[in-house]
Amino acid sequence: MSARYTPSVNIADLEESATIAVSARAKALRAAGRPIIDLGAGEPDFATPPYIKESAKRALDSGATRYTLTEGILPLREAIAARANERLGGGNVISAADVVVSTGSKQALFNSCFVLFGQGDDVLVPTPAWTSYYQMISLARARAVDVRGRRENSLKVSVRDLEQAATPRTRGVMLNSPTNPTGAVYELDELRAILALAASRGWWVVSDEIYREISYETPAPSLLDATQGDEALRERLVIVDGVAKAYAMTGWRIGWSIAPRQVAQAICALQSHTTSNASAVSQHAALCALTAREQSSTAIATMVAEFRRRRDAAAALLREASVDFIEPRGAFYLFVRVPQRDNDPQPGTTFARELLDEHDVAVVPGAAFRTPEWIRISYAAPMPDVLEGVRRVAALCVQR
Ligand code: GLU
């Protein structure tokens, strides 16, 4: 018999990641023989490009098997800083010392929340937002304050929405563009206005830019672009990015933060007690991804073109069926509002359950993103799966 376990106060509000749980369930059902179409996972279905895998093999052969500096190998941090400086019009504004490489952008985000926010702090979260922000803020003992985006603004928040939700305890805001789960993209002037508000109030801005290279109409701006011409705007800005989505490198677990020096040092100190460095061989693979410029831009363009084809086809099906959804301009998600039935407080959850149990399609319920009227479809899946899965979603919407 095992001793009774009482969860510690640290995880009093902890919930398992719903995005991860959906893909785990889809995989388990598939393994048990059910023909599940998995539109749950937010993971590119492409293989990591061969030249990146080759670079990892070479790195292993030349001894990349040991600890590295906690903050990551210098050439990778230099490459990350160089790219950031290009966005700022050249120069050496950002240095390798401002960069910490982590085990996925997830750890970079957690580190950022943990060193910036604490007990008594409110953090504004434009909602819907990726499920883990709310949990990370809560693990830092701060309070996530949902700021609902307006439907007519593709569920993005405006300066006014943020101002209305702010309290004297507000310490920061989490931004994410292109946005998971909606695919909405913030324009440069929207980012500028939010950054200016944050600067005037002394808030930290954590900008998760992991989907930035996956955008369809125009290149998605970075918060760094919004700081051009006003250095002071970078004083409270943390940019988080990684190689997972754009380079199809989810399993390599390489992300990073670019932060003001003291924050970078705090993140590094924290990470030195948790995981130390991110995987050495993966860091070398990420270095190749960032520095093999021509190969990488071709690889990304090819993947983005395929995502665009799927987006267009899936959106056309939803439009034909008069289903309400956000027009996605980046990332690889479609956010769909499901018809309300019987005053159900969790229509998205009920819908997702029925879709999986009776129609063999996995999607993530909108409740994971604090918008229970919606569901998230990932089109990071082969075209036939996307088409058939979205057809079933549309049919179920119409049927209800
Ligand atoms: N971020 C992806 C998603 O939203 C991957 C799973 C996760 O880490 O949440 O599906």
Q: Is 130 in the pocket of ligand 1 (CB under 6 A)?
A: yes
Q: Is 20 in the pocket of ligand 1 (CB under 6 A)?
A: yes
Q: Is 42 in the pocket of ligand 1 (CB under 6 A)?
A: yes
Place of tokens 């085990």: 103
Angle separating helix axes 280-291 and 293-320, nearest 10 degrees: 90
Residue 147 to residue 232: CA distance in whole angstroms: 26
Tokens matching residue 336: 């769909």
Q: Is 371 in the pocket of ligand 1 (CB under 6 A)?
A: no
Q: Phi, psi (5° rounding) for residue 150?
A: -85, 145
Report the separation in Å between the CA atom of 42 and the middle of ligand 1, taken as the mean of its atom positions. Answer: 5
CA 169 to chain CA centroid, nearest Å: 26
Residue 254 DSSP class: E
Atom of ligand 1 nearest to the CA of 181: 4
pTM, full prediction: 0.97
CA-proximal residue: ligand 1, atom 8 (nearest): 20
Encode the chain (400 residues) as per-residue pLDDT tens digits.
678 999 999 998 999 999 999 999 999 999 999 999 999 989 999 999 999 999 999 999 999 999 999 999 999 999 999 999 999 988 889 999 999 999 999 999 999 999 999 999 999 999 999 999 999 999 999 999 999 999 999 999 999 999 999 999 999 999 999 999 999 999 999 999 999 999 999 999 999 999 999 999 999 999 999 999 898 999 999 999 999 999 999 999 999 999 999 999 999 999 999 999 999 999 999 999 999 999 999 999 999 999 999 999 999 999 999 999 999 999 999 999 999 888 999 999 999 999 999 999 999 999 999 999 999 999 999 999 999 999 999 999 999 8
Atom of ligand 1 nearest to the CA of 180: 4
Atom of ligand 1 nearest to the CA of 20: 6
At residue 1, the pLDDT reads: 62
State the Cα angle at 26 between 175 and 355, rounded to 5°: 85
Pocket test for ligand 1, best of 23, 38, 180, 252 (most atoms within 8 A of CB): 180
Atom of ligand 1 nearest to the CA of 17: 9
Q: Phi, psi (5° rounding) for residue 262?
A: -65, -35
Pocket test for ligand 1, best of 43, 174, 240 (most atoms within 8 A of CB): 43
Tokens matching residue 202: 């002394």
